Structure 1
Amino acid sequence: MKIAVVCANGKAGSLIVREAVERGLDVTAVVRSENQSATQQVIQKDLFHLKASDLTGFDVVIDAFGTWTLETLPQHSTSLNHLCNILSGQDTRLLVVGGAGSLYVNPEHTAQVMDGVDFPAEFKPLASHMGKALEDLRTRNDVKWTYISPAGDFQPDGAKTGKYILGGEELVRNAKGESVISYADYAIAVVDEAVKGNHIQQRISVVAE
């Protein structure tokens, strides 16, 4: 299996690369600057400059793009749209490192995590833009995409336990009543999905056991 990880130098991207390499998968890092990930196979190119030919031959492309400044937040949509355009009509699957703010908190799917009164105001713009990117993605029937939302508490330096619970469109809590997952365990879930490919054109979510 050949996997490309876009934005492989980032915190999530680098852990996904490491997890895939440790499993013996054929992994290529797509990076804008010097490669700092665990694979030696590299495409050094800005995401927005990628062409269809750059991603030919990959079974899975994992999009680990993320940005946090107000000026760049719209790039969550534009970057994902660009990747969809160059993968349109291909067998290559696209896995997207998503956000938790757009997860639903009721069975009717009318209320999202980001709508809650306790949701931090400083994260609302990010959650809104990531939510819009997901809504745009849902319209793409020409791409074999899977959007993977983390738990509400997404911990960059959390422990790697190797265990997680797979959910769907709604926020899932574990037996302790917590919605939490480490980046390391999230990386395991992403690589599991890359290998299995069970959720084409679906949003799934993951939470620590």
Structure 2
Amino acid sequence: MKIGIIGATGKSGMTILNEAVSRNLDVTAIVRNKAKLDDKTINVIEKDLFSLTTEDLSSFDVVVDAFAAWGDNVDQHSTSLAHLTNILKDTDTRLFVVGGAGSLYVDMDKKIQLMDGAEFPDAYKPLAVAMGKALDSLRQVTDVNWLYISPAAMFDSEGQKTGNYVLAGEEFSTNDKGDSYISYLDYAVAAVDLMSQSEYNQTRVSVRN
């Protein structure tokens, strides 16, 4: 399996890259600045996401979109996905999107999302809204094999790797203790596991411990 990881120098991208490398998979980091990579032996495409072409990605079985945008640039979650789906349309390459938890539904009718709640942090609301809009647009894409993977509400970059996780659907869920938690390391385990599975396509799943 050949895997390309966009944003491989970011927290989630690097964690997924390291997990894939640990399994001896053929991994390429797709980054704007290869000097930021810790492992200088990794295959690299040094290019901005918006400059990527179909030819750049055609050799990959899976492309992971771990692109992140903050502040005034949050709308790039939509524009970046639009670009990626455009260059991947009608190809066999699968697109895995590192998503957010704010758009998970908290009601069975799928009308109320986690970010709509009064307890959702104001500081993260613009990002959650932007990522939710990007997901809504992605749902309209039928000519790309995409999978959107939402983490739990608490997405812990400092958490431990247990190797255990629960795959859930569109609805917000918690464990037996009432916690919605996943470490970056266990999220990466789930993401790489999903690369070898074919039953999830053009849908969103969520991952928690």
Does the alignment reach a TM-score above 0.5? yes
| Alignment gaps of 5+ in structure 1 | none
- For the residue of structure 1 that corresponds to 2:44, the secondary structure is strand
CA distance in 2, matches of 1:22, 1:94: 21
Does structure 2 retain, via aligned residues, the 8 Å contact 1:18–1:37?
no
**CA distance in structure 1 between the aligned counterparts of 2:122 and 2:48, rounded to whole angstroms:** 31
CA displacement at 1:198 relative to structure 2? 2.4
Q: Report the Cα distance in structure 1 between the residues aligned to 2:193 and 2:97, rounded to whole angstroms.
A: 13
Give unmatched runs, 5+ long, in structure 2.
none
Structure 1 length as normaliser, TM-score?
A: 0.97
**Hey, what's the Cα distance between the residues in 2 that align with 1:196 and 1:135?**
24
One-letter amino acid matched to 1:185 = D
Q: What CA deviation, in whole Å up to 9, does each residue of 1:90-148 have, x standing for no partner?
A: 01000000000000001110110000010011111000000000000000001000000
With normalisation by structure 2, the TM-score equals 0.97
Tell me if structure 2 keeps the 8 A contact 1:102–1:114.
Answer: yes
* Worse-superposed segment, 188-197 or 40-49: 188-197
**What is the DSSP-based 3-state SS (H/G/I as helix, E as strand, rest coil) of the residue aligned with 2:8?**
coil
1:77 aligns with 2:78: yes
Pairwise CA distance, 1:37: 4.9
In structure 2, what is the equivalent of residue 101 of structure 1?
A: 102
Q: Secondary structure at the match of 2:67?
A: coil
1:197 Cα deviation after fit: 2.9
> Across the two proteins, how many residue pairs are aligned to each other?
207
Matches within 5 A, 1:48-63: 48-63=50-65
1:66 is the counterpart of 2:68: yes
Contact 1:3-1:58 at 8 Å conserved across structures: yes
Question: Where do residues 1-209 of structure 1 align in structure 2 (5 Å cutoff)?
Answer: 1-35=1-35, 36-38=37-39, 40-69=42-71, 71-208=72-209
Distance 1:171 1:37 in 2: 35
Whether the 8 Å contact between 2:34 and 2:44 is mirrored in structure 1 is no
- Give the 3-state SS of the residue equivalent to 2:92 in structure 1: coil
Where 1:196 maps in the other structure, the secondary structure is coil
Q: Report if the CA contact (8 A) 1:105-1:111 is conserved.
A: yes
CA RMSD, 1 decimal: 0.9
For the residues of structure 2 that align with 1:68 and 1:193, how far apart are their CA atoms? 27
Q: Deviations over 1:45-100 (max 9, x none)?
A: 0000001100011100000001111x100000000110000000001000000000
